[in-house]
Amino acid sequence: MALTPAEIAKQERFARIYGRSQCPAILAVERRVCGCDYGGNSWTTRDEARRMAALLGLKPGRRLLDIGSGAGWPGLYFAKETGCEAMLMDLPLNGLQVASDRAAKDRMSDRCGFAVADGAQLPFRDGSFDAVSHSDVLCCLKDKRGVLEACRRAIRDSGRMVFTVIWITPGLSRDDYGRALAGAPEFGEVESDYPTLLGQTGWSVAETFDVTDGYAASVRGFIRADRELKDELEALLGADEFAERQADWHSQLSVIEAGLLRRDLFVARPR
C-alpha cells in the first residue's frame, strides 16, 4: 500500500527524532521520566516494560517481533532482561541503526535482528514468532487493521500479542471529540473500538489494562524534566522548537485530564 503524504511526513519527522535520540539532553530527559536511556519514542516506562515482558511470556528460546521499534525501546530491553530472541522492525532506517549499535554494545547481536518494513506488510513467514509487541504504534499508523492482520499471520497459534495504544475515549460529544482529536497522536482515530477491531482481525482479547493515569504522569514528567533541562534542550532544538515541545505536552495533558484521551494495554491471543 502506497504511503500517504501525511504518513511520509510522519516518517521524516521520526527520522529527525531518531537522528538526535542519543544526544545527552534527550537521554537525560528519558532517564528522568521513563527510567531508560534508549532514545525511546513511546510512553512505555521501565516498570511498564517489565510488566509487558511478563505478559508476553518471554524467556530464552522464544521469538519476539517488536513492531515500530525505533531506537530499540522496549524491544531490546525485552531481549536483554528475558534472554529471548528479538526481531526489531520499523521504517526509518536511522532508528534501527541506533538500535543495532545498542544491541552490539549490550552484546546481544546474536539474538537480535533488524528489518526495515511496513507493519502492514511484514516480510516473515506465517507463524514465525511466539510473541508480538508494539508500544504506542497503532496510534501513529493509518492502516491499523492491516497491521493487526499482519501480526496475526506472523504469530504462532499458541502465541500472544501485548501492546499499548493511545486513543480517543468512546462516546464523546461532537465538541469534545474535536478537542480530543486536536490533542491526540496524528492517527489517533480508530474506525471502531480496539476490542472490536481485534476481534475482526483474528484476535481474542485476554486482558485489558487502563494505563491512562501512568500516561498522564509521564506527560507531567516530561514537562517538568524539559523545564529542568531547558538550557541544554534549547541549545539542541532551538528556542522555538523547545516552546513547541512544551506546548504539545500541555495540549496532551489537558485532554487526558479532561477524560478525552485514554491509553490502554491489551493482551491478545490468536483466535
Q: For 195-239, how does the pLDDT look when each residue is reduced to its tens digit (9 = 90+)? A: 999 999 999 999 999 999 999 999 999 999 999 999 999 999 999
Q: Assess whether pLDDT exceeds 80 at residue 2.
A: no
Domain count, the chain: 1
DSSP 59: -
Q: Assess whether pLDDT exceeds 60 at residue 1.
A: no
Q: List strand residue ranges (DSSP E) for 117-174, in order.
A: 129-135, 155-168
Closest CA to 228 of 18, 69, 36, 31: 31
DSSP 4: P
Q: What is the mean pLDDT of residues 15-27?
A: 83
Closest CA to 236 of 10, 16, 6: 16
Range of the domain at 132: 5-270
Distance of alpha carbon 45 from alpha carbon 19, whole angstroms: 21
pLDDT at residue 18 in the model: 74
CATH number, residue 134: 3.40.50.150
Joined together, the cell numbers standing for residue 103 give: 544491541
> Tens of pLDDT along 37-59?
998 888 999 999 999 999 999 99
pLDDT at residue 3 in the model: 62
